[in-house]
Amino acid sequence: MGNLLHCKDIVLGYEGKAVVSGLNFNISEGDYLCILGENGSGKSTLIKALLGLNKPLSGMMIQPAAMKAGDIGYLPQQTAIQRDFPASVREIVLSGCLPKCGLRPYYNKDEKKLAEDTMKRLGITELAGRCYRELSGGQQQRVLIARALCAAQKVLLLDEPVTGLDPKAQNELYELIAELNKSGVTIIMVSHDFAAATRYASHILHIGAHCQLFFGETADYLASDVGKIFAERDTHERTVTEDDR
């Protein structure tokens, strides 16, 4: 498997002020990397760096010449306004091809075929003519993943993709993402869901209070002191939640 990204001693921030420091990790083709961390730990800043929107304050972020920021399909967190977008599913999926159009004011045959094939791949062909705002949360996320895949076929960066979904829709989306990974798509997912991360991901990057706590394979993470602490915390939080019910 080829190496897609190598980060060494990365410091990220704004206007010379560090937000997160000491990042050392690799992403290879076919990986399923889950980035864990509390709010404010620097995950959003890292996302911007991975998308090429932020340059490191120091350290090295090395990508092969064939790999560019535009090669990453991005699924951001949705706002309420975005969920109410009045366009058809086909229009939204096709919009992932916009970067390929350049100055051309229309989609060509290949781009239209890519959109149709991607909708079929994600099981949303029958929704193509439906208005996006009328779909369930889980269906909307499938549409947005299809859009991201039209933009970039090999790498998907997902920011809290199951936020706001009911448990059934969450499980279905996690299974879909896992299937995409098995088919060869490299997955980078930012999440608060410890259980899902350790169930599906091949690698874990855990960011603490603005610094890296762990990077490595999931099995090694679960066996580490950091993994054990957060596994116990997750179990406790789930028990409290069930008791409240």
The CATH number of whichever domain residue 71 belongs to comes to 3.40.50.300
Give the mean pLDDT per block of 10 residues along the chain (245 residues).
88 92 95 93 91 91 70 86 88 91 87 96 96 95 95 92 93 96 96 94 94 96 95 82 58
In the chain, the number of structural domains is: 1
Task: Give me the pLDDT at residue 78, please.
Answer: 82
| DSSP bridge pairs for 35 | 190, 205
Give CA–CA dist 178/185, Å, rounded: 9
Query: Which two three-digit tokens encode residue 138?
Result: 């889980």
Task: Give me the pLDDT at residue 3, please.
Answer: 86
Strands 17-28 and 3-14: antiparallel
Query: Which two three-digit tokens encode residue 119?
Result: 């909708």
Task: Give me the pLDDT at residue 210, please.
Answer: 84
Task: Give me the pLDDT at residue 52, please.
Answer: 86
| DSSP bridge pairs for 26 | 6
Give CA–CA dist 230/228, Å, rounded: 6
| 3-class DSSP state of 187 | strand
What is the value of pTM for the model shown? Answer: 0.91
Please count the other Cβ atoms lying within 10 Å of the Cβ belonging to residue 20. Answer: 24
Task: State which residues form the domain around 167.
Answer: 3-244
Task: Give me the pLDDT at residue 144, please.
Answer: 95
Task: Give me the pLDDT at residue 157, please.
Answer: 95
What's the half-sphere exposure (Cβ side, CA atoms, 13 Å) at 124? 30
